[in-house]
């Protein structure tokens, strides 16, 4: 059973409860109805997060937003959505984290190519480095209207 709730700072918490049978075992209960289990979960949730608001049970088939952008999740009524400004910043941070080691790698390759006076390699590395430097340009310029806009503007750096 999954619940969402919102902390006073506006961020979301996603809570997953253990199955009813496990709760029964841990509490040494012989019986527990589904209604009692649900009541137990909601009571626990409110005890554990008294300052939070909007405690909402998610349907079993509810499709969660992308966990990569969890810190950009916002609760809208009984559902989840994205804070697109936060999501864009997360995408930029993640992209830079992937790009930095690649830049270091190509710096090394460039030094080696210069030492070997390999003009072809030098030119190739310069192109890769320019592409990497510009990898965040599309995202930085983006005013996203959806999470898909952000994903589409995030280049795949695994090719480098």
Residues forming contacts to other proteins in the complex (CB under 8 A) are: 11, 13-19, 22-23, 26-28, 41, 44-45, 48, 64, 67-68, 70-71, 97
CB of 87 to other proteins, least distance (A): 12
CB of 98 to other proteins, least distance (A): 11
CB of 56 to other proteins, least distance (A): 14
| Contact between residue 23 and residue 7 where contact means Cβ atoms under 8 Å apart | no
Q: CB nearer to other proteins: give 19 or 130.
A: 19
Nearest to 86 by CA among 72, 65, 70: 72
Nearest to 71 by CA among 89, 54, 46, 51: 89
CA 99 to chain CA centroid, Å, is: 18
CA neighbours closer than 13 Å in the CB half-sphere of residue 61: 0
Q: CB nearer to other proteins: give 48 or 107.
A: 48
Q: CB nearer to other proteins: give 14 or 122.
A: 14
């Amino acid at each position: 059973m999954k619940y969402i709730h919102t902390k006073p700072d506006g961020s979301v918490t996603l809570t997953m409860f253990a199955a009813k049978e496990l709760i029964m075992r841990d509490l040494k209960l012989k019986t527990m109805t589904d209604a009692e289990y649900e009541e137990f979960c909601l009571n626990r949730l409110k005890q554990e997060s008294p300052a939070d608001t909007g405690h909402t049970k998610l349907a079993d088939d509810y499709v969660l937003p992308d966990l990569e952008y969890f810190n950009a999740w916002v609760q809208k009524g009984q559902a989840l959505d994205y804070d697109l400004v936060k999501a864009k910043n997360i995408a930029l941070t993640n992209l830079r984290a992937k790009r930095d080691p690649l830049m270091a790698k190509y710096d090394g390759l460039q030094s080696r190519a210069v030492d070997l006076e390999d003009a072809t390699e030098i030119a190739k590395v310069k192109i890769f480095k320019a592409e990497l430097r510009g990898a965040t340009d599309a995202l930085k310029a983006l005013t996203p209207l959806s999470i898909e806009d952000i994903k589409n503007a995030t280049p795949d750096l695994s090719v480098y």
